[in-house]
Amino acid sequence: MLTYLPSPTVGALHLGPLTVRAYALCILAGIVLAVWLTGRRLASRGIDGGVVLDVSAWAVIFGIVGGRLYHVVTTPGPYFGEGGNLLDAVKIWNGGLGIWGAVALGALGAWIGCKRSGVPFLQFADAAAPGVAFAQALGRWGNWFNNELHGAPTTLPWGLRVYEWDQPAGRAVTDSAGDPVVAGVFHPTFLYEFLFLVVLGTLLLVVDRRRRLAPGQLLGLYVAGYPIGRIVVEKMRTDEAELILGQRLNVWTSILVFLLGVWIVWFTGRRAAGSPPAEEAPEGAPDDTVESHPESQDVG
């Protein structure tokens, strides 16, 4: 190999009893970006942008729990299999957050937060959708720091040089001379997904700016859009995964989530089309029945 992309040999900083892991920092950076962008987009919709902190607190807590539960259930070997340790299931700093569980329970947490804050859930979800995509993109760099979730070996110039990894220590395994042990050069699937998510988030912003969407339709576009790229990445990955009819579990999940997203776009559009105009809406009608006007929005 004449050229390749490098990987870190250290993914954690040990400060006495405290260990700061790059994986966690990437996730936190994504959360901060999503909260900031969502707040700006809520303000452009006439909603106090500060409410995003209250709603996001619920969404983040539920999302982390959901992401970890999905990972543990779909990858049971390290926790319930031979030689597994159930206590490792709570060690999220070692990596392992399933996006499907994070989005599902994160949405539930956001719904609870919206109910408590008096914010229409669909308007909040539409405002948050692009930021969630960008947050996922930043979070994928945590896999780079952990030297994990790569594809098959490759000789392409953008192949990723990966090291054998000591997960608890957060660093590459070294040989007798103290040099990191190279596992090989592989497809950087984390990078492919990062680029796809950046494109997806940007497209969501553009569509929201140029199209008149019913409340909830931008959420549906995100839900349907992400699985398209995820299926491609899943087919390239070589890490162990549960198989159903010869396909990785996440491929089947992606197909179901794509269909859910298509249904959300159709249902919210149909519901809005059957709702009375804002000036004719009956007293007490929920705000989600009123179409937004994205052409006047500041998308940040």
What is the tens place of the pLDDT at every residue in 12-43? 988 888 888 998 899 999 999 999 999 999 99
45 or 130, which is more confident = 130
Q: What are the b/e assignments for 202-223, b being 16+ CB within 10 Å?
A: eebbebbeeeebbbbbbbbbbb
- pLDDT tens-place string over residues 136-157: 999 999 999 999 889 999 999 9
Predicted pLDDT at 132: 95
Predicted pLDDT at 167: 84
Percent of the residues in the chain that have a pLDDT greater than 70, as a whole number: 87
Residues in the chain: 300
CA–CA separation, 231 and 269 (whole Å): 26
CA–CA separation, 93 and 106 (whole Å): 19
Predicted pLDDT at 278: 52
Nearest residue to 106 (alpha-carbon basis) of 96, 98, 94:
98
Enter the pTM of the model. Answer: 0.83
Residue 66 φ/ψ, nearest 5 degrees: -65, -40
pLDDT class of 294 with cuts at 50, 70, 90:
very low
Q: Is pLDDT at 2 greater than 70 in this prediction?
A: no
249 or 185, which is more confident = 185
Predicted pLDDT at 103: 87
Q: What is the mean pLDDT of the chain?
A: 86
* For range 223-232, the mean pLDDT: 95
- pLDDT tens-place string over residues 77-116: 777 767 667 777 777 666 667 788 888 999 999 999 999 9
β-sheet bridge partners, residue 165 = 172
- pLDDT tens-place string over residues 267-286: 999 988 876 655 444 444 45
- Which residues lie below 8 Å from residue 252, measured CB to CB, with a gap of 6+? 244
Predicted pLDDT at 50: 85
CA–CA separation, 197 and 225 (whole Å): 9
- pLDDT tens-place string over residues 192-208: 999 999 999 999 999 99
